[in-house]
Structure 1
Amino acid sequence: MAPMYANAYMHIFEREHILHPYRERIIQYVRFIDDILILWKGSIAEAEQFVKNVNCLPSPVKITANISDTMVQYLDLEILIKDNKIEYQLYSKPTDRNTILHFESAHPEHSKKSLPYTQFLRVFRNN
């Protein structure tokens, strides 16, 4: 239930506090639950001021921003601009421990069997 509440809350929040007031500066806006990627038209200083303005709102939503004109991480992708082209590669957070589910664990059999398949799909999809 928590992702559904977060999604509903963020939908209202983004419409009122991000998309409407900053629509002339936002080239592309992508959100997955509470992770947001914004392609911003303007300077880095203006993007930093946008983050500061949103974080000053009387709301529990606080934005942690990675602002760059060459590279950002979003979910499990690292998005780069090279030679005026957008490129991407897989990204793993520094805290990722790459843990493995032991096949003898008490997890349901169908869950254990689906792990290799879904991981290969992820690699295929992102490459």
Structure 2
Amino acid sequence: MASIRFVLVAVVLGLGLGGLGGYRLGTGDAARSELRDARGAVQTAADTLDAARRQLDTTTRAVAQAAARDAQTASRHLTEAAAYEQVIASAARLDCNRDPDAFRMLVDAIGRANQPRAATPGAPAAKPSTTTA
């Protein structure tokens, strides 16, 4: 007798739980719960995308600033090289004799033109090497 009661209680309990699940499914509770979960996943994806966009903006800005610095440096070096070439052109005229100061200025300008980053206007020139091949 006890086993029949146990089976009847299990059947009633199973029908009750099945009915409750069917009721929740019928009223849309399960669908609303899934919709809530899906909206949470979409929000997480949107937050991740926004963070990636901000990081891309920061990286782009840093690269643009570095490119601008490099362009300014290159422009300054070209300007210095052009100034040195003008000094060389004015000191290397064929129709005049060069005194020691003019020759030193010519050697200095050539050295600076070959090494624009290390040279600064007005600094003493390095002595030219006198090696022979």
What TM-score do you get using the length of structure 2 for normalisation? Answer: 0.25
Considering fraction of residues, name the structure with more strand: 1
What TM-score do you get using the length of structure 1 for normalisation? Answer: 0.25
RCO higher in structure (CA 8 A, sep ≥6): 2
